[in-house]
């Protein structure tokens, strides 16, 4: 596979190393001269100097025959533009873009750039995961498939606490896929009992989230 990486920061450089180790053909483009010098010393001909948002630089690096383009510079506007051009002008089949500021994710989305990886967003999710008192955590959104996977904590005194999975009264289009308890997890059957304090993973159709979460929250304490 021929992989073109734009941006030889920590992300781009390490990706290049790993992919070369896996015997892929790699070119990494870097626009900062001193950074380029360091990278070239190690990666030799796999490193090219230039502004990866300039079309001729991309063409010189052979973007037309790239199987995969990784737009991983430190600037979101550059990553958006490179991804857009790679897909729409050069017809690259697979593109992965890095989003530095999670607030810019919506711009990537608006301009049809996907998939997008945001380290900040990933770390934030992990932090939320570690914080004991959260309501709901979005683990994965599948916008095309119109599905989402969420994680909920079962509140004491909620409708769900103490009930069997099949008696939870969940709306159609939702399914409990696992229950996390005491540091472990299992895939439940309809007869598994949900306990207060459990964390429950569900897959659901987009748009029914609130009807699902109300089963797991304690409405009397929420009202108070």
Judged by CB under 8 A, the chain residues 104 through 133 that form the site for another protein are: 104, 106-107, 110-111
From the CB of 91, what's the least distance to another protein, in Å?
Answer: 13
Which pair of tokens denotes residue 163?
Answer: 């009930």
Q: Closer to another protein at the Cβ: 18 or 77?
A: 77
Q: Closer to another protein at the Cβ: 94 or 107?
A: 107
Contact 108, 116 (CB under 8 A): yes
**In a 3-state reduction of DSSP, which class is residue 107?**
helix
From the CB of 201, what's the least distance to another protein, in Å?
Answer: 32
- Measured distance CA(28)–CA(61) in Å, rounded: 9
Which pair of tokens denotes residue 168?
Answer: 């939870």
Judged by CB under 8 A, the chain residues 41 through 100 that form the site for another protein are: 53-56, 75-78, 80-81, 85, 88-89
Q: Closer to another protein at the Cβ: 106 or 189?
A: 106
- Measured distance CA(179)–CA(45) in Å, rounded: 50
Count CA atoms closer than 13 A to 197's CA, side-chain side: 4
| Size of the residue set binding another protein (CB under 8 A) | 20
From the CB of 121, what's the least distance to another protein, in Å?
Answer: 16
Q: Closer to another protein at the Cβ: 58 or 212?
A: 58
Chain center to CA of 112: 15
Please calculate the CA angle 223-195-163 and round it to the nearest 5 degrees: 85
- Would you tell me which residues interact with another protein (CB under 8 A)? 53-56, 75-78, 80-81, 85, 88-89, 101, 103-104, 106-107, 110-111
């Amino acid at each position: 596979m021929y992989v073109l990486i734009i941006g030889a920061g920590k992300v781009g450089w390490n990706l290049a190393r790993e992919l070369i180790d896996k015997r892929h053909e790699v070119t990494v483009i870097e626009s900062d001269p001193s950074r380029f010098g360091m990278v070239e010393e190690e990666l030799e001909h796999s490193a090219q100097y230039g502004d990866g948002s300039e079309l001729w630089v991309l063409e010189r690096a052979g973007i037309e025959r790239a199987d995969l383009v990784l737009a991983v510079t430190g600037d979101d506007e550059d990553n958006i533009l490179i991804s857009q051009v790679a897909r729409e002008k050069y017809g690259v089949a697979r593109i992965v873009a890095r989003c530095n500021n999670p607030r810019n994710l919506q711009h990537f989305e608006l301009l049809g750039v996907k998939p997008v990886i945001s380290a900040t967003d990933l770390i934030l999710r992990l932090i939320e995961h570690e914080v004991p008192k959260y309501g709901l955590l979005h683990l994965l959104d599948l916008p095309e498939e119109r599905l989402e996977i969420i994680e909920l904590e079962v509140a004491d005194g909620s409708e769900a606490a103490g009930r069997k999975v099949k008696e939870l009264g969940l709306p159609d289009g939702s399914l409990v896929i696992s229950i996390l308890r005491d540091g472990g997890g299992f895939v439940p059957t309809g007869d598994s009992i949900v306990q207060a304090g459990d964390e429950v993973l569900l897959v659901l159709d987009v748009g029914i989230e609130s009807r699902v979460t109300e089963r797991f929250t304690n409405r009397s304490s929420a009202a108070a």
